[in-house]
Structure 1
């Protein structure tokens, strides 16, 4: 019988098994170690290449350390480089072996070839072994005094590496003072730049511990040092120039004359071909003139041409970075680029991220003089085949209208968009029309006349449908078909998956009912009953609120749902002025590109409590191995105020945040209901309106279930595994899953979202149809008791095998009932 095909396969040459190949290399390297015959170097190169390739793919070749060191006795610089690469890779994890390299590296530091001296010194400083720092001091002193600039340049960075390995050794050897002297006297600009970078880092770290280091750091900002760098700045490369400009930005000039002197010295840096140099110079000019209003405005005018040149030349990535800085400047000085708006017109071959930022720029520079031309250009983009750009252009038109620029013409153009019969154009336009009507109620007659001709069946996007429903409710008296359109939307309630649409629908139908009761009575009854039976808690709560409000007093309901409104004057800005000032202070950094201060994306403490877990890959629980670890902290952190609107969520959340659940009775939406008369207290007999026969509103809310769970429970995988091994099985049983749930189980993520809505979190999942395996956990709301669940689902038989372990054995059955109840509702509408 032939063995399996997999056992017959031999390892490929590119991925060797390891041991045999390494042994062969060891023997071959020993043979060549002491050989000086012609062609030896070429043979060593081939062997060294194999060693480096094995090291690269993850094979442990540390056993070759001594042979590699012996073969390093050569004048071939290529062999030297490969040997240094090998030594640097294995030195830190094998500190004992690293000691073998000291002799040959120190010998190479004295080689006649400056390239070998520099490479050997760099490798010696890169060993990163604390016990070997004493061997670095001598070579570094020699390197700083070397006659070759490359060796000195490497030695300067070596001092910084030594400081991070052993700060005491670096300071005791007086290396900072040597760097300071070298910085002010070395003829090579790259050595000077390296000294500046190293000293800034060393003295900034030492300043908190040593008063002398703090004073030394201040010497970098003294007038002689600053002018020394300014006078030599043209000799530096681009990186070094940026380093110098950052240093000068921290310097405080003594008077205005000195400010003008510095700006005169750096004037030509604004014409530099490198964008980083230009931006660093601009940052310096802006900071120097912050207290000089007139000069600051002149700086804006002076930097305009260099920035526009950078936008139009270079890569799209550079254009985006420069545009981000332009956008920041325009937000501070809106009139700065108002006459140069054509520079921000989109080109056909630009990537989406550049076009989007240009649209934001066009919105920002719009004013009374250029609005017509900008809006005309944006309207051209609305018909673009690139749908994302078309959407962004329509939003830009709306933003300009909200700034009160040429409103009449803009409203006419937006209404023309509704006649284009393109779904994405119609959707975006409806959202903007809603905002425009909130700010300009006087345009309601013209807008409603066009919006009334739009069929709700042609609007599918949740935000657009919500905007249309808002207009149907807000202007129900002006739209003849409003009650009937709302009634048709309520009839398709079960087909609507967006909670935002359902919330708007409840409010709109109540507004319509208060204005046109006879035509809307059936729709209101169906809407309230459907809302009370809805699984989404926010929809349920709003329907219950409206139910009780109508039962209490109709006049109060009118004041709550449809109070006298004033036109919105200013829409909320997404960024505060303090935030914008903070970003401006970090000009020429990633803060401008990200449009947020650096602390928001660099410090872990500001990542928030709902950050995703870093646990990835496979998770082994007990003796089983399951994949696709799922974070227990995947929580919606940015829910909006649901009394106004809600985020468009695909799934419905059955239980409330504390684990309780409402069970609304069923209703018949097709029943023919009549509007009851008001009660003596001014309320409506809403029970008759709904046709549900309830006695009183307080009896609607059911008693909470006996077991409440913590919706924000957190459990790390290692603790889960430990508890799973320690705790005995409390409940082991089989339960059935409804066919709708089996049909919805196309991917495990669907079930995970559903169970998380019931405060039951998934720690790991795996498998594929028809067999799925899940591990869940939950926590008692009032205690620290943890429940662990192993759930194996067979989708072909619609069965689920459950094993439950718990800290609190007495409540295991209650939790099992709650878990099975949540599982049975999976896939139900």
Structure 2
């Protein structure tokens, strides 16, 4: 060509010198000199494969930089019939990139694909009958990526044809194309199910994972398609690629939970016969140990096909892929007998040596499982000790797990570990550690007094955040047995002058109001101090001052009458409407002599409050909550209004 020199650094090749294309890895592809699409079009129209390859590399480079190359669609599409495999691959990459985004332009590729007539009705891309399996698979991949409803029959016929291809790689690509076509036209579901059924019966490990993926995307409710392939899937599982293993294990977990009995159900009438789930009596794995099976039957009666699934997934706990290990752990958690679930613990602990992202997912899993199965991870307690190099979210998850694993035997070690965490510079972590101490004290009664003493000692800490969090936790613990800890309540009342954190001040005031009968001389004096600083307090503290005033007026009206009136007069003109509204509401209970509400004031405000339950935030994750029972803010407001009206109607 006359302009070849423009692609060789403006220097014509000398005699005998081989003409080479520009290296795509070099920075030349990304220079501003190559912005003229006219030059690229000329190269794509060239008869030389080297120029076409260079042009395609530069176009892909433009796409990688985020530049728009859609105006090159026509000349690129023409090269889809190129005999150079490297050129074809890059053309396919280009087509997949713009197939969905440029649907009108994508129709141009259809006319290029349609070369051979088949079945007298549909055009099938000539590349789908190419002798090279990579080309056939790439052609199907591109064709299924063109989201134009007009070509749905063509894609369907191509998928059916590729599902019977001699190459496993092409059949795998056909399985990947099924969800694409289903999302484009859900009405093709029945025909696609027929193809999926055919692919599920494939005995090639390369195809099985993709076939199950298509099954999960298109027809997960068709469990009957799995029945005849169940044993084959279990036995091929070890040889399937890693991501195929994840998909198959997830599907088999769902399948087994619906088709087999729960091995942990307390059902004395469970069938103890060793009858197979299927009619076929052949032992698939060929390794049958009668003595081991006899022991299994004596302990618990598992269906042989249920046992087959557990036996064939257990080796995958040694997989290098964290997703595979997590999938097997999930399967064992739901399907294995209690005596066998512990085998996944060591595999999950091994994953904690991986990078932070994997650690976070694994720790979330362990935190959820440990609420129900403490014994699984108790031997690995030290693996959850916090390191200074751990990020905050990892530290919080480890704290959660350590708290879940706390027992009478391990609590002393855990509390010593928590004690060292209090001196950390991470304030969020320190607050979580104090809360963890409170949870341990709440769940293990033997150490409640010890934990309370430790938390009280933290009240003299120089860090105000530590003191504030300690006050909040102590308040929750004192609610469980307030009569035994009068001295602690008195000690906390003295801290009101020194603690500035609003949440902590509010907690102290709530305690004094709730147990004012145990400190009759101290509570009125605290109210007097709070009345002086009322206008400077935060809203949460003001609300508790009002509550304290009401409770003291109901228990000691002679001493606190004028003080309460003063507090309510301050609240009457507060800038926050919530404070004003609460003051007007409470005033009707204590200062309206003829009101029927005042007769029931003591029952309402001085009633015994239930002790709070301190439990793991992961504990509720194993329960499913219907959406209609979730209290959204709007629903909560409506229910609150209705309950208030009902209460007032009863009183009046």
TM-score (norm 2): 0.74
Unaligned 5+ segments in structure 1 are 1-12, 208-213, 290-295, 584-596, 611-634, 643-829
SS in 2 for 1:298: coil
Structure 1 residue aligned with 2:602: 559
Which residue of the partner structure matches residue 197 of structure 1? 213
Within 5 Å, which residues of 2 pair with 1:307-706?
A: 307-310=348-351, 312-338=352-378, 340-403=380-443, 404-456=445-497, 458-474=498-514, 478=519, 482-498=523-539, 500-513=540-553, 520-552=560-592, 556=599, 559-560=602-603, 563=606, 565=608, 568-569=610-611, 571=613, 580-582=621-623
Give the match for residue 239 of structure 1. 243
Is the alpha carbon distance of 1:384 and 1:36 closer, same or farther for their aligned partners in structure 2, counting shifts above 3 Å?
A: same
Q: CA deviation at 1:480?
A: 5.2
C-alpha separation in 1, matches of 2:187 and 2:591:
79
Q: How far does the alpha carbon of each residue in 1:606-659 deviate from its partner, in whole angstroms, 9 at most, with x for none?
A: 99876xxxxxxxxxxxxxxxxxxxxxxxx89789989xxxxxxxxxxxxxxxxx
* Distance (whole Å) between structure 2 residues aligned to residue 557 and residue 508 of structure 1: 17
* TM-aligned CA distance change 1:47 to 1:607, over 3 Å: farther
Say if 1:98 and 1:127, in contact at 8 Å, map to a contact too: yes
Match of 1:279 in 2: 326
Q: Does 1:67 align with 2:75?
A: yes
Over residues 523-573 of structure 1, what are the superposed CA-to-partner deviations in whole Å (9 max), with x where a residue is unaligned? 32321101222343442233224433333459958724763647x456386
Contact persistence 1:125–1:162 (CA under 8 A): yes
Identify the residue that residue 219 of structure 1 maps to in structure 2: 225
**Aligned equivalents of 1:300, 1:113: Cα separation in 2:** 47
Looking at structure 2, the residues matched to 218 and 395 of structure 1 have their Cα atoms a distance apart, in angstroms, of: 50
Q: CA deviation at 1:384?
A: 1.3
Partner of 2:316: 269
- The structure-2 alpha-carbon separation of the partners of 1:561 and 1:444, relative to structure 1 and needing over 3 Å to count, comes to farther
Q: 1:341-389 CA deviation, whole Å, 9 max, x = no partner?
A: 3332212111211211221222222232222222222122112111111
Structure 1 residue 298: Cα displacement: 0.3
| Contact in 1 for aligned 2:57/2:90 (Cα 8 Å) | no
The residue number in structure 1 matching 2:234 is: 230
Structure 1 residues 537, 560: CA separation in 2 closer, same or farther (over 3 Å shift)?
A: farther
**Counterpart for residue 342 of structure 2:** 301
Contact 1:550 1:557 in 2 (8 A): no
Query: Between Structure 1 and Structure 2, which shows a larger proportion of strand residues?
Result: 1
Aligned equivalents of 1:81 and 1:139: distance in 2? 19
State the 1:518 CA deviation. Answer: 6.5
Distance 2:462 2:411 in 1: 26
* Residue segments in structure 2 that go unaligned for 5+ positions in a row: 1-28, 114-124, 261-276, 278-300, 642-652
CA RMSD of aligned residues (A): 3.8
Are 1:120 and 2:139 matched, yes or no? yes
The alpha-carbon distance between structure 1 residues 384 and 640, as it changes in their structure 2 partners (threshold 3 A), is: farther
Asked whether the 8 Å contact 1:157–1:198 carries over to 2, the reply is yes
**Cα shift at 1:466:** 0.3
Residue among 40, 65, 75 paired with 2:51: 40
For residues 641 and 503 of structure 1, the distance between their equivalents in structure 2, rounded to whole angstroms, comes to: 19
Structure 1 residues 201 and 127, CA gap change in structure 2 (3 angstroms): same
The count of residues paired between Structure 1 and Structure 2 equals 554
Report the Cα distance in structure 2 between the residues aligned to 1:334 and 1:42, rounded to whole angstroms.
61
Shift of 1:393: 0.6
1: CA distance, partners of 2:308 / 2:48: 66
The structural deviation recorded for 1:409 is: 1.0
Alpha-carbon distance in structure 1 between the residues aligned to 2:241 and 2:618: 38
Distance in 2 between the 1:335 and 1:360 partners? Answer: 16
Offset, 1:78? 4.6
